[in-house]
A and B are shown apart, each in its own frame.
Chain A
Amino acid sequence: MATHGEIQLEQLTKQFAEVVAVDGIDLHMPPGEFFTMLGPSGCGKTTTLRMIAGFQRPTSGRIVLDGVDVAQVPPHKRNVNTVFQNYALFPHLDVAGNVAFGLKYLRVTKDEQRKKVAEALDLVQLGDLARRKPGQLSGGQQQRVALARALVLRPRVLLLDEPLGALDARLRKGLQVELKTLQAELGITFVFVTHDQEEALTMSDRVAVMNGGRVEQAGSPREVYEEPSTVFVADFLGVSNLLTGEASADGDGCALRVGERTFRAQQGATGERGEVKAMIRPERIGVEAHSASGDNRLPGLVERAVFLGNSFELHVRVVGGEVMKATMPNDGTGIPVEEGTAVTLHLPPEALRILAPSSSLSEDDPRVASTK
């Protein structure tokens, strides 16, 4: 694996006039990995990226790149390059001119320059468009030029600010795979910023989910999806059903009392006591016939049944009045359901996860409302 391109953010903070955009975050971005900062707009992910690039000066904290604090180094002296959201290709230069722009500062000969430009354009499959102006290229082609322009300098870290945001869905899918392949081939650390959870999950080695200027959780895509540690992460990544209840001790897990019923939960912060939130993914809920009985079961009435081809998405109003979402695979083994069918939902203890409170409290945080 790559030995350089390691970033360590330490208590990084950026305060604008009245807003704290980034609130003392600590993040470790291992060398040669595809690292994604994921979050809603205004969560501080782009500001963090811009501080790593050097366009924003941190209010406090350190940005350690391969052991050296670069927080106070101007952007043109940092060995990191950026692919901008709007690409920012120089309109007065052709494709080759754009790609060659930064080579001037690497002290390479003209011949080498030409060679490197050609290599970089081949890498992104644009060799035959070298003499075009950016205005004559499609969005996808511009994106590749922006990539070539940054990669030709062999940066230790490549920063990507929602680079696929402006492209249509089909192109996005293709480029997602290409970017991931490119990153694996080159072994350069990629730091990717997106608000698209699917993009984050499919491309990344590690994901940091951000909210309100803080990191809610960082880990592999599987960890953040399957083992969300906070309500925000559970809610932001994929679809989750949230239950509010009282937690008490019960063997190796904990007992969650929701209204009249008690469920066993074995995942997450089972040591928490008192009022907690628990989550379960729709695909982990078992949909059984109304007559089924046993622990961790909950009767309800199907309110909507959406046929998705390979599965059904069910909205089930359960006893207590809440609506839970359940996904039932269309594999021929499920019970027949339609609107108005009475069913029993099975919430297996090994799929029911107790969540820790969010590290940051925001106005729309469900816990703020529930404690009022």
Chain B
Amino acid sequence: MIAWLRNPWGRPRGLAVVTGVYVLWSILPVAIAILFAFNSGRSRTTLQGFSFRWFTSQAGVFHDQALQSALTHTLLLAAISVAVAVPLGVTLALGLQRWRGRGSGTVNTMMLLPLVTPEIVMGVALLLLFLKVFPGLGLGTKAQAIGQVTFTLSYVVVIVRGRLVSIGRDYEEAAADLGAPPHDQLLRVLLPLLAPAIIASAAVVFALSIDDFVVTQYLSGDASTTTISMLLYATARGAPTPALNAIATVALLITLATLALAFFVYKRFAGGGDAAVAAVLEV
């Protein structure tokens, strides 16, 4: 056994075992949750048979008005977050990359703050902001979108800056040397080279937006601004049936589909160039 694990010429079996155990452990709860979405009984703990009733019956998620509305709202918020956070984040990353003067270090560090701030703190802070400082804006879709952009923006900046640093200034200089004015240096050279990072950050923002509960909950208005994660939470506190698992399964599928799409788009456009971005997407 020890020899099998420690064979220095063979594959790193010890690492493989640890990795395998972790992967199983992390998938297990999700797999069980999905399994019970197909339970024919009402129990979420005892498996009674296989059925699609929690998806297709009158009580199933496909006929659930609240779920339909939550799904639409979740996708709307995700679309807004991507549409605002990605262009804004790319612009900020470009600006920070070029800004070499006093204060650039401070701003760089501050860009990372939303990544480490506890979400509950950010949620409460944003709520106060919308209630006391900008009461005219009101709670609801607008506030939720602004809140999500606020914390997803940092991810875009971090991902795009990482790529910018690895690209360096050489290609821009080469473009300038060949006669390209500044906006062409950006459009013909820098943006195509940044495409993998931009796609990756869009996928990350989309996934973060769909998954987010705390900020979105705090800034929600009426029932029409309920998202899937909020619905899941509310249902779980009430009288949960496998319909809850069915909702979770639907949410999971949307997230996975987004990441898969982003990964394939990335593979197609980047030709497998940037290992770091590929790693983010493959997770």
The chain A residues found within 8 Å of chain B, CB to CB, are: 53-55, 74-77, 81-82, 84, 86, 88-92, 101-102, 104-106, 133, 135, 149-150, 153
Contacts and interface: CB of A to CB of B under 8 A. Distances in A.
Interface residues of B, number: 19
11 contacts: A53-B173, A54-B176, A54-B177, A82-B173, A84-B170, A90-B193, A101-B180, A105-B178, A105-B180, A106-B179, A133-B271
Contacts of A53: 173, 177
B63 interface: no
Contacts of B177: 53-55, 75-76, 81-82, 150
B174 A84 contact: yes
A149 B173 CA distance: 14
A90 B171 contact: yes
B175 interface: yes
Interface string B249-283: 00000000000000000000001010000000000
Given A90-B189, A92-B192, A92-B193, A101 B178 contact: yes
Nearest to B171: A88
Contact of B181 (A76, A82, A88): A76
B188 A101 contact: yes
B166 to A, nearest CB: 12
A175 to B, nearest CB: 20
Contact of A102 (B178, B182, B193, B271): B178
Interface in B177-223: 177-182, 188-189, 192-193, 195
A53 B178 CA distance: 10
Contacts of A135: 271
Contacts of B271: 133, 135
Contact of B178 (A54, A91, A149): A149
Nearest to A99: B178
Contacts of A75: 173, 176-177
A116 to B, nearest CB: 13
Nearest to B269: A92
A91 B193 contact: yes
A76 B193 contact: no
Contacts of A101: 175, 178, 180, 188
Contacts of A89: 174
A160 B174 CA distance: 12
Contacts of A149: 178
A153 B171 contact: no
A53 B171 CA distance: 14
Contacts of B170: 84, 86, 88
A55 B180 CA distance: 13
A89 B271 CA distance: 16
Contacts of A104: 179-180
Contact of A105 (B173, B179, B195): B179
A102 B192 CA distance: 17
A57 to B, nearest CB: 13
A83 to B, nearest CB: 9
A159 to B, nearest CB: 9
Contacts of B179: 76-77, 102, 104-106, 153
Contacts of B178: 76, 81, 101-102, 105, 149-150, 153
Nearest to B167: A91
Task: Pick from A86, A92, A135 the residue with the most CB of B within 10 Å.
Answer: A92
Nearest to B180: A76
Nearest to A55: B173
A315 B271 CA distance: 57
Task: Pick from A55, A76, A135 the residue with the most CB of B within 10 Å.
Answer: A76
A153 B175 CA distance: 13
B193 A74 contact: no
A76 B171 CA distance: 13
A277 to B, nearest CB: 41
A90 B181 contact: no
B173 A88 contact: yes
A76 B182 CA distance: 8
Contacts of A86: 170
A305 to B, nearest CB: 48
A255 B177 CA distance: 54
B193 A88 contact: no
A105 B188 CA distance: 13
A333 to B, nearest CB: 55
Contacts of A88: 170-171, 173-174
Nearest to B170: A88
**10 nearest A-B pairs in the assembled complex, by CB-CB distance:** A102-B178, A105-B179, A88-B174, A75-B176, A88-B170, A92-B192, A76-B176, A82-B177, A102-B179, A76-B179
Contacts of A105: 178-180
B273 A91 contact: yes
A39 B171 CA distance: 26
Contacts of B193: 90-92
Contacts of A102: 178-180
Nearest to B169: A55
A150 B173 CA distance: 13
Nearest to B193: A92
Nearest to B173: A55
B182 to A, nearest CB: 8
A39 B179 CA distance: 29
B272 to A, nearest CB: 10
Nearest to B181: A76
Contacts of A150: 177-178
A77 B73 CA distance: 51
Interface in B91-121: none
A208 B49 CA distance: 87
B171 to A, nearest CB: 6
Contacts of B171: 88, 90
A210 B173 CA distance: 25
Contacts of A153: 178-179
Contacts of A84: 170, 173-174
A101 B172 CA distance: 12
Nearest to A85: B170
